[in-house]
Structure 1
Amino acid sequence: MPGIDECLDEVMALPGARGAAVVEWISGLALGAVGASPNDDHEVTAAETAEIARLASEYAAFAHDPASPAAPFSPYADFADDAPLPPGADGDTVRIGTPVEDIIVTTRTGHHLLHFVDTPFDSGVFLHLWLDRADGNLALARLRLRDLAERLALR
């Protein structure tokens, strides 16, 4: 299982990767960062992307608890690893407790891909990849980030 540094090195091997970070989205702290940053400051970028992650996770339109359609997801809720899947879901479906799978923000020159990582502790972490629009492959990046997130060792 790769740690944060190894994970970020693998992310930067993707075609078009300009910068990457592992961010704790409730506090906005970067647990690790590599490459360039859109505003030349990895800590500010981490805080800004964490704000986007929090917003998406807290709005019921994007992330509600399927077991209780009226109740929005709370990023502070404690969900067990063996939580039941919603009705009609299969093993490939994101389990209850994961607010959003990916957030993609496209700019004129690049893509920002935020992929949420399930963690064994009471916190939320995501991988942030800044991808060059001309050289990057967004579909490949999504697949690789999902694979890395499953193998990432955050213990």
Structure 2
Amino acid sequence: MASMDVSLKEMMAIDGAVGAVVVDYNSGMALGSLGGSKDLDLQIAAAGNTEVVKAKLRTMESLGLKDTIEDILITLNTQYHIIRPLTGRSGKGLFLYLALDRARGNLALARHNMRIIEEKLEV
């Protein structure tokens, strides 16, 4: 099992990582973050992506889908934003968020690493 700090460091070790956050989507608050830049305020990203997760959960409920979200991908011209809700009991209501530079990152590998990081994270 890995702590939040270790998990954030592992996320930032992914090639092309720009910023990493563990977010409580009930409140929209970042519980921990690493990285970011003047163009990527991780507190604002945490709050904004909370709305994305809530909207998707509401839509799934409206459609009667009895499934879970593995991850949500937002593709920008220069970045990928990966949102991965935690599925373990201790992580209920939390998600991992990673901003990845498209020119330096490998999306498939980043998604694979995020799954492994999520499995090890103990909140």
Q: TM-score, normalised to structure 2's length?
A: 0.89
Residue type of the partner of 2:24? E
* Residues 5 and 58 of structure 1, relative CA distance in 2, 3 Å threshold: same
Specify whether residues 153 and 122 from structure 1 end up closer, same or farther in structure 2 by C-alpha distance, changes over 3 A only. closer
Deviation at 1:123, TM superposition (A): 4.0
Match of 1:134 in 2: 103
* Count of matched residue pairs: 123
Against the structure 1 CA distance between its residues 111 and 122, is the aligned structure 2 distance closer, same or farther, given a 3 Å change threshold?
closer
Per residue, is there more strand in 1 or in 2?
2
Which structure is larger by alpha-carbon Rg, 1 or 2?
A: 1
Further displaced range: 50-59 or 38-47: 38-47
In 1, Cα distance between the equivalents of 2:102 and 2:108?
12
AA aligned opposite 1:150:
E
Change beyond 3 A, Cα 1:5–1:137: same
| Higher helix residue share | 2
User: How far apart, in 1, do the equivalents of 2:99 and 2:77 lie?
Assistant: 13
Which segments of 5 or more consecutive residues in structure 1 lack a partner in the other structure? 67-95
Q: Does 1:7 align with 2:7?
A: yes
Q: Which residue of 2 aligns with 1:41?
A: 41
TM-score, length of structure 1 as denominator length? 0.72
What are the within-5 Å matches in structure 2 for residues 50-65 of structure 1?
50-60=50-60, 64-65=64-65
Unaligned runs of 5+ in 2: none
Structure 1 residues 57-87: Cα deviation after superposition (integer angstroms, max 9, x where no partner): 1102897443xxxxxxxxxxxxxxxxxxxxx
The structure-2 alpha-carbon separation of the partners of 1:33 and 1:64, relative to structure 1 and needing over 3 Å to count, comes to: farther
- Aligned residues of 1:3 and 1:152 also touching (Cα < 8 A): yes
- For residues 17-40 of structure 1, what are the alpha-carbon distances to aligned partners after superposition, in whole Å with 9 as ceiling and x for unaligned? 000000011211101000015744
Q: Taking CA–CA contacts closer than 8 Å with sequence separation of 6 or more, which of the two structures ends up with the larger relative contact order? A: 2
Tell me the percent identity: 38
